[in-house]
Chains A and B, each alone.
Chain A
């Protein structure tokens, strides 16, 4: 039992951190936020999938991808295609010159549904596509690069270029993809209205559980020998290779896993927000995801979630009042974190968190006045830090 426990949550500290996060997103937010704000947090949490994927890939694997938007986008588009097809039933689209196809296809003089859209009539296929297509795509990119030992800056640049190519492709092929506007006006999922508040709330909770599940799965990877190999490869790749490991395979695997996680986030984004567009595929979102992970702490799965929430709260708050300043502020924050707090929020917590827990120890002692355990509680906490 303790073995399983350690595998999934790391040490005791990891377990506590995990529970606090779970309580925050599952209990505190739903209790204190109105439907609109909760939906907004739900949207942020879908980005957190990508941030968590970057903790694995960049923080532990040492491979910076500036193209997680690619996979976020593929997942989101796959889900959007299914929902769009359902919204484009012949009855709903009777006024089009070709009823039964998505509206943007009709506007672009398409007269029948393109082949690659057909399978997205099936929800099962769509779910599989959300998980499998990005993984295969990542495998192709990963195999092409890592087997040739391309890494570091070159890998970052190439992933960024691919995200640009994908954006250009989506924007350019308006009739097939909805172009710059993306895929909008999504209404129902198997007949169930997804635009209602109750649906959004449900998606929020599904989103939370998936995110927590992804964190547990990631923790399983990091606490296995695979996780230690990732660290080892980051620091001494040659030593790992000359210890009998095929380094490329490990990098490909973690890149594929990161892609799959990001795609789940993308699919949840589509459900939560109700549309998908190329502005979530390209350079800007991809770099934002890196910033989320960096600010939260690139070595902390849970930190990445807080980083995502913090930056997005900030973005919403600031861009409501000073829209021009936000980008500068975010850029400045990123530079500051990289220069002064390379381990982000999680690192700050590691370094200064015990000051806060000490305060609580003081409170505990205050309430437990006269009891003998009081000193031992304090001692334990200090020892733990």
Chain B
């Protein structure tokens, strides 16, 4: 199964297929992601975008094909091992711990004391604190550290979840619709945030809002029925007649 060779890419997906009862949600997909690249995947509903993220982060097991992250095969690792390898994933609806404070949300996500006994002995020391402050200022939530996360606005919840990933310093950050439900101003701030955090790592984003995509994307891939329809710069892709027909046209 691991016949693919080593590459310089952060993420190299080759010939990836997953079928659910014969329906191929992702169909021999190949896809590469460079370091420092912010790549956006677009496509109509049911194109398999979220499934691709599920496959990378181990939530769904592939039927065949390979996913290599920094030349490490991910398809046979469990979810927490994939996270520990350096892959962070944000879910479509903000997935945060509503009953805990913003501070505690970030603290839990801090990549230390991840074992049972490690977590019992975990100490909130200066190192942890300064990292939390650093991330909190990045995601614009410094003033909300003691706020119960459930009380944050929808946009702030999205940022908090991004912060919970940032604190782990992942080499690959995957965001599923990060600006869904955000106000215009929050979208602008999020675009800035994404541009900042894509320095030194790879970011893979699923998004519907074309204006937002145009603002952030280095490269765009259009998925349709589990296959790549087009890929490249946003402007090229937008002009592609196939893309216009299935997705942008209506």
Which residues in A have some Cβ–Cβ distance to B below 8 Å? 220-221, 224-226, 228-229, 231-232, 235-236, 238-247, 249-250, 253
Contacts and interface: CB of A to CB of B under 8 A. Distances in A.
17 contacts: A225-B107, A226-B119, A231-B97, A232-B97, A239-B96, A240-B108, A241-B83, A242-B79, A242-B88, A243-B83, A244-B84, A244-B111, A245-B80, A246-B115, A250-B116, A250-B119, A253-B116
A148 to B, nearest CB: 13
Contacts of B116: 226, 249-250, 253
A239 B122 contact: no
A247 B122 CA distance: 17
B137 interface: no
A220 B120 CA distance: 8
> In this complex, which of B83, B107, B116, B168 has the most chain A Cβ atoms within 10 angstroms of its Cβ?
B116
Binding site of A, secondary structure by majority: helix, strand, loop or mixed? helix
Nearest to A249: B116
Given A239-B91, A242-B88, A243-B109, 12 more contacts: A225-B108, A226-B119, A229-B119, A231-B99, A231-B100, A238-B59, A238-B91, A239-B97, A244-B84, A244-B168, A245-B80, A246-B115
B38 interface: no
A241 B79 contact: yes
B168 A236 contact: no
Contacts of B99: 231, 235
A246 B80 contact: yes
A374 B164 CA distance: 47
Interface of B: 57, 59, 78-80, 83-84, 88-89, 91, 95-100, 104, 107-109, 111, 113-116, 119-122, 164, 168
| Central interface residue in A239, A246, A249, by most chain B CB within 10 Å | A239
A249 B108 contact: no
Nearest to B116: A253
Contact of B108 (A220, A243, A246, A247): A243
Contacts of A241: 79-80, 83
A224 B97 contact: no
Given A226-B119, A231-B100, A239 B111 contact: no
Contacts of B107: 225, 228
A240 B104 CA distance: 13
Nearest to B167: A243
Contact of B95 (A220, A224, A239): A239
A46 to B, nearest CB: 26
A199 B114 CA distance: 46
A307 to B, nearest CB: 22
A226 B168 CA distance: 18
Contacts of B88: 242
A246 B113 CA distance: 12
A244 B120 contact: no
A222 to B, nearest CB: 11
A12 B18 CA distance: 54
A228 to B, nearest CB: 6
Which of B57, B111, B120 is the most central at the interface, judged by chain A CB atoms within 10 Å of its CB?
Answer: B120
A228 B100 contact: yes
A8 to B, nearest CB: 13
Nearest to A254: B116
A225 B100 contact: no
A251 to B, nearest CB: 10
A249 B114 CA distance: 10
A221 B122 CA distance: 11
B177 to A, nearest CB: 16
A30 B91 CA distance: 56
B111 A228 contact: no
A225 B122 CA distance: 6
B95 A238 contact: yes
Contacts of B80: 241-242, 244-247
B97 A235 contact: yes
B120 A221 contact: yes
A181 to B, nearest CB: 40
Contacts of A239: 91, 95-97, 164
A220 B121 CA distance: 10
A242 B98 contact: no
Contacts of B84: 244
A75 to B, nearest CB: 23
